[in-house]
Amino acid sequence: MDSEQFRAAAHQMVDYVIDYLDNIRNRRVLPTVEPGYLRKLIPEEAPEQGETWQSIFQDIERVIMPGVTHWHSPNFHAYYPTGNSWPAMLADILSDAIGCVGFSWIASPACTELEVVMMDWLGKLIGLPPVFLASTGGKGGGVIQGTASEAMLVGLLAARSKTLKRLKADNPEKDEQTLASRLVAYSSEQSHSAAERAGLLAGVHVRVLPTDDQLHLRADALQSAIKEDTANGKIPFFVVATLGTTPSCSFDDIEELGPVCNDHLLWLHVDAAYAGSAFVCEEHRHYMKGIERADSFNFNPHKWLLVNFDCSAMWLKDANDIVSAFNVDPIFLKHDHQSSAPDFRHWQIPLGRRFRSLKLWFVMRSYGAQGLRDYIRKQIRLAEQFHHMLAADDRFEFPVAPSMGLVCFRLKGENSLSEALLKRINEAGQVYMIPAKLHETYIIRFAVCSRFTELSDVQASCEEIRRHANETLPAPNQN
């Protein structure tokens, strides 16, 4: 393909993408294919001779689309959203064209410098205290990771390294491996499984703590675990608190947990993967109260802030904690400006990194702070309207209040009824939702995910759910 052929193909692809998203409502949200479907549709080997663009283009509908789950369909209500917007897509095109691997400042100064400034813009946009921002000239700063799971692992590894350095300084005679084997981290039963996974990857035990009846990790639960573990010779060092848990979007109280962490020298990592985007709105910032106690804070603009995957924003109060944990400096990566600009390779697990801050820049400039706030408020309003509609049918109950664009509901009665209902709905494939457990209670999660979702879509989803409820159980009291 030469540049003129690319121009024509790119125009065709842009038209295709626009038509795909403009008409996505007409596609069944869940595909009907079986595992292994795709291998049968394409040759066993790569072609010997190059093919025309047209033959490749035709295979998008034939091979790919039958196996796509349409995350941006207005009927997609599973998991949490994944961001999507025209300006973010434009940024990714540019990032692909520049095609740099911005591991150090000199590897592409614009890549590093835009990221530093965008992380400050974004931090200010959500009301993060200045201590986390690079512009204050202190030790804090932000970095774009790929995912919240990576941010959690980076936080945990940094905490592990910092704790071991301190322990080794206090006990030079002790063996580092033995000290490491005594480390214990904490998450809650409502935390994302990424916390346990980070522990597995880092080779440290993550103890999962119980939550209270409001699904919050409380300071007393943390304190008693610290006491018990310390008495048993363990060394507590890391806590994950969640603002907007995955099952029900509940919020741990940072103001309560922070002092416990600080008093016991535990690294506090705050995971706001989904709900962090809502802090662009002043009215939701109370959930962040006490955030200055945290060592690291993370949220995913690629979830709810209209930025296409991947873009996970992580801030550190003292960036030296990760730089010193992950710093290896081979001669081939050195350059003359190492002390005057960050080299983000020290802030992350891989060496290579894409030019992801372009997405933040284009999105924040295109929507403006007001546009982003309007977007978040609209999504939350749609979830509340859905809740209102479904609550009119007294066969349903809501174990927790709707929170930030997420409604958790169930059929009254045994868990098996709601399980059967969800199975029917997802098999029909018009609306897609997933379940969760709040303690022992099975719930169905309805998250407003797509930027294309309108009130009429939410109404149609509600009708679809009620229709399947009719088939799941008798309807004595339908409205």
Q: In the sheet where 312-316 sits, what is the strand order?
A: 141-145, 312-316, 296-299, 267-271, 235-242, 183-188, 205-209
Using CB under 6 A, count the residues that bind ligand PLP.
16
Region near ligand PLP per CB under 6 A, out of 271-279, 288-296, 428-436, 437-445: 271-279
CA dist 459 and 440 (Å) reads: 29
148 makes contact with ligand PLP (CB under 6 A): yes
Binding mask 104-123 for ligand PLP (x = CB under 6 A): --------------------
Catalytic residues: 192
Shortest Å distance, C-beta 188 to ligand PLP: 11
245 with 277: CB under 8 angstroms?
Answer: no
78 makes contact with ligand PLP (CB under 6 A): no
CA dist 192 and 237 (Å) reads: 19
Q: In the sheet where 441-447 sits, what is the strand order?
A: 396-397, 406-411, 441-447, 434-438
Q: Which 199-218 residues touch ligand PLP, going by CB under 6 A?
A: none
Single residue of 73, 187, 312, 461 touching ligand PLP by CB under 6 A: 312
Return the H-helix or E-strand segment holding 437.
strand 434-438
296 makes contact with ligand PLP (CB under 6 A): no
- Strand segments, DSSP code E, in 200-264 are 205-209, 235-242
250 makes contact with ligand PLP (CB under 6 A): no
Region near ligand PLP per CB under 6 A, out of 5-13, 90-98, 144-152, 465-473: 144-152
Give, to the nearest 10 degrees, the angle between helix 357-391 and helix 109-125: 30
Single residue of 84, 211, 246, 296 touching ligand PLP by CB under 6 A: 246
268 with 294: CB under 8 angstroms?
Answer: yes
149 makes contact with ligand PLP (CB under 6 A): yes
Specify the residue for token string 């309807």. 475
DSSP per residue over 37-66, as a string? TTGGGS-SS--SSPPPHHHHHHHIIIIIGG
Shortest Å distance, C-beta 240 to ligand PLP: 9
271 makes contact with ligand PLP (CB under 6 A): yes
Q: Which is nearer to ligand PLP, 71 or 396 (CB)?
A: 71
Binding mask 440-479 for ligand PLP (x = CB under 6 A): ----------------------------------------
Single residue of 242, 418, 450, 461 touching ligand PLP by CB under 6 A: 242
Q: Tell me how far the alpha carbon of residue 178 is from its chain's centroid.
A: 34
Alpha-helical segments (H) within 60-172: 86-98, 109-125, 148-170
Q: Which is nearer to ligand PLP, 188 or 242 (CB)?
A: 242
65 with 284: CB under 8 angstroms?
Answer: no
CA dist 206 and 425 (Å) reads: 36
194 makes contact with ligand PLP (CB under 6 A): yes
CA dist 143 and 346 (Å) reads: 10
Shortest Å distance, C-beta 437 to ligand PLP: 15
343 with 353: CB under 8 angstroms?
Answer: no
Shortest Å distance, C-beta 221 to ligand PLP: 19
147 makes contact with ligand PLP (CB under 6 A): yes
- Strand segments, DSSP code E, in 193-306 are 205-209, 235-242, 267-271, 296-299
Amino acid at 73: S
Single residue of 119, 273, 306, 431 touching ligand PLP by CB under 6 A: 273
Single residue of 163, 300, 308, 348 touching ligand PLP by CB under 6 A: 300
42 with 63: CB under 8 angstroms?
Answer: yes
Q: Which is nearer to ligand PLP, 277 or 418 (CB)?
A: 277
Region near ligand PLP per CB under 6 A, out of 64-72, 196-204, 205-213, 237-245: 237-245
Region near ligand PLP per CB under 6 A, out of 63-71, 90-98, 244-252, 365-373: 244-252
75 makes contact with ligand PLP (CB under 6 A): no
Shortest Å distance, C-beta 446 to ligand PLP: 15
Can you give the binding site for ligand PLP, defined by CB under 6 A? 79-80, 147-149, 192, 194, 242, 244-246, 271, 273-274, 300, 312
